[in-house]
């Protein structure tokens, strides 16, 4: 029995050493975890002091809407969904028969206006010729009047002499009557010429008034011609709008139009996403703006390409928070006020985009943005 009692302590010695070894390993692991956690926390703290990050960011690009300028029925659609087009490519052709008729109508009205102008010019030239002829007639009548005046003076003198001679019976009654008749004839002829001169003067004034009227008609006809020329240009311009072309190069969105469909002027048919530029709009909290400045370096991670980092630059800040541009902006002066952290859009432009990837970047893709504050 004594031997068994002395053997028992020797058998329990290894069991006591095992917990000690486990406690040391646990302690080492705990210390490593604490150190690793401290290092991770310090790294995050240090990174947070020199960086501002957000995942509330998307890719943006210019989108050009395809809008017809005139109303009409669709004759032909020359593009399909997601098709690449170049600037000037034909997208849609409208039925242009109505516009072509309007062009012909405007050209006919222009021809009529030009004919009216020619008629007014011809009438004016004729009136001016009539004025010259009337003035020449007046000159002739003036000369005849002078001759008639001389003849009237001469016959009056003859009449006066014959009147004295007949008192003495030096001449016959017939000779006196001939002298009297010659005098009266000369006076009547002078009166007739004076009346003819007055009529010629009135006719000249009338022709001059008519000439002035026709001259003003020339100005009116010229103004009408200009108006008709504008109508022709407008009709031809509307005719050209029957062919809808791409204003910029890019990718066509879903084409929501079919042949035979009636389109209204100003109706948005589909859009073209321009491929010449793409950028990022990131919405940062207002509490993140203290150290952010234009020109700071930015690292962009696109969710579609998680293994690729894009270098970019902060280029501009929005003039107001996003809520200010909402359809119904909040009014904190009405009702109960609940403070909500606002976000301010920031534009970020890529410095150099890989050509292989730029074609795969699409507007609306989510990205993560890391702004380097230093």
What are the residue ranges spanned by the domains of the chain? 65-95+242-272, 97-240, 278-374
**SS3 assignment, position 217:** helix
Q: Higher pLDDT residue, 183 or 316?
A: 316
pLDDT at site 206? 63
Q: How confident is the model at residue 337 (pLDDT cuts 50, 70, 90)?
A: confident
pLDDT at res. 134: 65
Question: pLDDT tens digit string along 156-197?
Answer: 777 777 777 777 777 777 777 777 787 778 778 778 777 777
Average pLDDT, integer, range 202-221: 66
**pLDDT greater than 50 at residue 249:** yes
Q: Which CATH code fits 65-95+242-272?
A: 2.40.50.100
pLDDT-derived band at 99, boundaries 50, 70, 90: very high
Choose the most confident range, by mean pLDDT, from 127-136, 202-211, 235-244, 268-277: 235-244
pLDDT exceeds cutoff 70 at 113: yes
Strands 309-317, 90-94: pairing kind: unpaired
Q: Is the pLDDT of residue 239 over 90?
A: yes
d(CA 59, CA 300): 10
Q: What is the phi/psi pair of residue 96, to 5°? A: -105, 15
Q: What is the pLDDT of residue 1?
A: 39
Q: Residue 194: its pLDDT value, please?
A: 75
Tokens of 87: 């600037």
Query: pLDDT band at 230, cuts 50/70/90?
Result: very high
367/54 Cα distance (integer angstroms)? 9
Q: Over the chain, what is the mean pLDDT?
A: 81
Res. 104: pLDDT tops 90: yes
Same fold, 65-95+242-272 and 278-374: no
More confident residue, 185 or 6: 185
**Which CATH number is associated with domain 278-374?**
2.40.30.170
pLDDT beyond 60 at 306: yes
Contacts of 339 (CB under 8 A, 6+ apart): none
pLDDT of residue 9: 47
Q: What is the pLDDT of residues 271-295, one digit of tens each?
A: 999 877 889 999 999 998 888 999 9
State the pLDDT at residue 45.
66
Task: Look at 25-39, 71-85, 306-320 and tell me which has the smallest mean pLDDT.
Answer: 25-39
Q: CA dist 161 to 158, 176, 185, Å?
A: 5, 9, 17
Q: What is the pLDDT of residue 316?
A: 94
CATH architecture of the domain covering 97-240: Orthogonal Bundle (1.10)
Q: Higher pLDDT residue, 80 or 173?
A: 80
Q: Are 54 and 39 in contact (CB under 8 A)?
A: no
pLDDT for residue 127: 65
Please tell me the predicted confidence (pLDDT) of residue 4.
Answer: 45
pLDDT of residue 5: 45
């Amino acid at each position: 029995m004594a031997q068994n009692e002395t053997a028992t302590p020797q058998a329990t010695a290894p069991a006591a050493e095992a917990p000690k070894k486990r406690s040391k390993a646990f302690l080492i692991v705990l210390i490593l975890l604490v150190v690793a956690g401290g290092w991770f926390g310090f790294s995050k703290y240090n990174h947070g002091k020199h960086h501002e990050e957000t995942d509330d960011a998307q890719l943006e690009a210019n989108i050009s809407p395809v809008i017809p300028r005139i109303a009409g029925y669709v004759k032909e659609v020359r593009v399909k969904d997601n098709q690449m087009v170049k600037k000037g490519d034909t997208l849609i052709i409208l039925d242009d028969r109505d516009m072509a008729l309007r062009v012909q109508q405007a050209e006919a009205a222009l021809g009529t206006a030009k004919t009216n102008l020619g008629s007014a010019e011809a009438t004016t030239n004729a009136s001016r010729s009539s004025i010259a002829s009337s003035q020449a007639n007046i000159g002739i009548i003036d000369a005849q009047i002078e001759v008639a005046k001389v003849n009237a003076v001469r016959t009056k003198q003859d009449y006066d002499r014959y009147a004295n001679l007949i008192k003495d019976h030096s001449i016959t009654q017939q000779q006196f009557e001939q002298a009297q008749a010659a005098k009266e004839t000369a006076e009547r002829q002078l009166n007739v010429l004076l009346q003819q001169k007055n009529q010629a003067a009135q006719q000249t004034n009338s022709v001059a008034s008519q000439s002035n009227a026709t001259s003003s008609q020339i100005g009116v006809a010229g103004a009408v011609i200009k108006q008709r020329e504008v109508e022709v240009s407008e009709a031809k311009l509307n005719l050209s709008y029957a062919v809808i072309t791409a204003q910029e190069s890019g990718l066509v969105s879903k084409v929501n139009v079919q042949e035979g469909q009636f389109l209204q002027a100003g109706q948005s048919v589909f859009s073209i996403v321009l491929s010449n530029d793409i950028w990022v709009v990131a919405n940062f909290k207002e509490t993140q703006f203290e150290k952010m400045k234009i020109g700071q370096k930015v690292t962009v991670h696109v969710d579609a390409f998680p293994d690729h980092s894009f270098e970019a630059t902060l280029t501009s800040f929005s003039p107001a928070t996003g809520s200010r541009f909402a359809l119904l902006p909040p009014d904190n002066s009405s009702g109960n006020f609940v403070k909500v952290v606002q976000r301010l859009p920031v534009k970020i432009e890529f410095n150099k985009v890989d050509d292989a990837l730029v074609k795969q970047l699409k507007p609306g893709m989510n990205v993560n943005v890391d702004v380097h504050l230093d």
